Amino acid sequence: MAETSQLTERECQVLLLLSQGLSNRQIASALRLSENTVKLHVAAIFRKLDVSSRTEAATTAVRRGIIALG
């Protein structure tokens, strides 16, 4: 399993927005990125957290203290 400290600052930003239920298009708009770049960040997040879904990424990130919701 990858260490969560390997997440970049941008990946953490994407992860936070992803965990709030935003689509790739919405994340791209919020962070002023292309949708394709967001897709690459999401793929990297999945790989580094060893998860296979957006929901799993969000719950894993909260459980590990990477992000806090609310």
Average pLDDT over residues 47-65: 96
4 pLDDT more than 50? no
Average pLDDT over residues 9-15: 96
All structural domains of the chain with their residue ranges: 7-63
Whole-angstrom distance, CA of residue 57 vs CA of residue 44: 11
Which class in CATH covers the domain with range 7-63?
A: mainly alpha
3-state helix, strand and coil shares in percent for the chain, rounded to the nearest 5: 65, 0, 35
Whole-angstrom distance, CA of residue 1 vs CA of residue 55: 18
Mean pLDDT of the chain: 92
Whole-angstrom distance, CA of residue 64 vs CA of residue 37: 25
3-state secondary structure 53-69: CHHHHHHHHHHCCCCCC
1 pLDDT more than 60? no
pTM over 0.85: yes
